[in-house]
Amino acid sequence: MLYVIGLGLGDERDITLRGLEAVKKCDKVYMEAYTSLLSFGLSSNGLSTLEDLYGKPITIADREMVEEGADIFLSEARHSNVAFLVVGDPFGATTHTDLVVRAKKEGIQVIAIHNASVMNAVGVCGLQLYRYGETVSIPFFTDTWRPDSFYEKIQRNRSLELHTLCLLDIRVKEPSLESLCRGKKIYEPPKYMTIPTAIEQLLEVEQMRRESAYSPDTACVGFARLGSEDQMIVAGSMRELLEIDFGAPLHCLVIAGKTHPVEEEMLDFYSLKNNFAE
């Protein structure tokens, strides 16, 4: 059996009772560690905290292991119970769907245990979840790579008066381009996109495209460490959020579409005047 278990967004306590019961009866436990992270990260202390609560040793599964070496734990799942832990919900990333498809094709029984994810937790700001359009990902720009495919999706959402959730880039255990060119992988330090960086890139694309998908005055909501005890939520224009220090990762951004009075009333609790009043 392969259990794909959502851990939620905060810390080790956010696992569901059903998920915890499944972990405790597994012979091997892996934890995916590149599409997201819990509030305390994956330091040795954080990992031992998980292991103490779950009562099992945990093997960290990086991108290479999940995408290229999944045969290892799929093989184990043919003969024993294996848990694959995912921050948020099991199906918050396409990689995990691919894993389940592979397992099912190989005749391995799969049980998914759901949990909270960024996709529904953003509802805390008051923007109604059923009024969101397609979610977009904002990648880090480089000197030679500045993709803008997200622009059309945001433009389409806003033309339909829908909100847009922007997931911001996470780079964990990524090999540097220089090392790949030399034929030897040397990994860059972990890197997490901040809300100001995302807005700078969004405005750069708008300045280049000039199709008025959004502007510095467009209403947005910035989220940091969503689901944790020290989560930070601030509503304001792109221009205003550029000046806010949201602190430690993870960050995400919502670009508001047309809002109705109930949404506006809730958003006001997170406005700059209510969060940073002198």
- The answer to whether 92 is annotated as binding is yes
Distance (Å, rounded) from C-alpha 95 to C-alpha 90? 10
β-pair partners for 219: 237
For the segment 112-134, what is each residue's pLDDT rounded down to a tens digit? 999 999 999 999 999 999 999 99
- The answer to whether 39 is annotated as binding is no
- The answer to whether 168 is annotated as binding is yes
Domains of the chain and CATH, by start:
2-116 (3.40.1010.10), 119-269 (3.30.950.10)
β-pair partners for 232: 224
Q: What is the mean pLDDT of the chain?
A: 89
- The answer to whether 9 is annotated as binding is yes
pLDDT of res. 187: 63
- The answer to whether 217 is annotated as binding is no
Q: Are 241 and 195 in contact (CB under 8 A)?
A: yes
For the segment 42-68, what is each residue's pLDDT rounded down to a tens digit? 554 557 788 888 889 998 887 777 777
pTM of the model as a whole: 0.89
For the segment 163-206, what is each residue's pLDDT rounded down to a tens digit? 999 999 988 766 556 655 666 766 677 889 999 999 999 999 99
Distance (Å, rounded) from C-alpha 87 to C-alpha 30? 12
- The answer to whether 260 is annotated as binding is no
Q: What count of other Cβ atoms lies within 10 Å of the Cβ of residue 28?
A: 17
